[in-house]
Amino acid sequence: MARVGVLVGDGYEDSEFEIPRDCLANAGHDVIVLGVATGALAHGKRGASRARVDQAAGDCHPEDFDALVIPGGHAPDHLRLDPDVVGFVRAFVNSGRPVAAICHGPQLLIEADVVRGRRLTSWPSVRTDLVNAGARWEDAEVVEDGHLITSRKPDDLDAFCRALLQRI
C-alpha cells in the first residue's frame, strides 16, 4: 500500500485533516503526519482535533512517500513561512508524485512557486493569489491537473478523497 504524508501545522481545518487521514488509513495506506518539527502537537482551528507530527518535513524526501496531502485552514499560511516546509513541497510537486491540497492548502503551492500554468481550485479567498501566481482558477469541487488535485472546502471532501484514492 501507499505511504502518504499529510502536512499539518497549528490551525489546520479539522475535517480536512481527519477525513482524508481516516479515508487513507481505512483503505490500508500508511499515513505519516508531517510538520515543522518531529513530535510537535498541532491543533485544529476548531479545537476538535490534534495531530502529533511524526516527521519534520525538512527531514523528508519526496521519494519517501507516494503522495502528499495539504489540508487547509490557517496552517498553510503559517507553514509557508518555513523554508524547509516550502522546499519539501516544491520538491514533492517537482517529483511528479500526487499532491492533494484543499481549501487554503494551495497557499503552500503558491509559496513553492509550482502553480504557474496549472489548473487549480481553492477556497474563494485564495483565488486571486493563485491567479496572480499564474494559475488558472476553476470553481469546481475537484480540479485535477496532472498529479495535482485540489478542492475548495470541507463540503468537497468526499470528491477530494475519491480523487486522491484513484491516484494512489
State yes or no: is 103 an active-site residue.
yes
Which of 23, 60, 103, 161 is labelled catalytic? 103
**pTM of the predicted protein model:** 0.96
Cα atoms in the Cβ-side hemisphere of radius 13 Å centred on 94: 10
pLDDT digit string, tens, across residues 32-61: 999 999 999 999 998 889 999 999 999 999
Assign 70 to helix, strand or coil.
Answer: strand
**For the stretch 119-139, what's the b/e string if a residue is b when 16 or more beta carbons lie within 10 angstroms of its beta carbon?**
bbbbbeebbebbeebebebbe
Fold entry, domain 3-167: Rossmann fold (3.40.50)
61-81 confidence digits (pLDDT tens) = 999 999 999 999 999 999 999
Q: Where are the domains of the chain?
A: 3-167
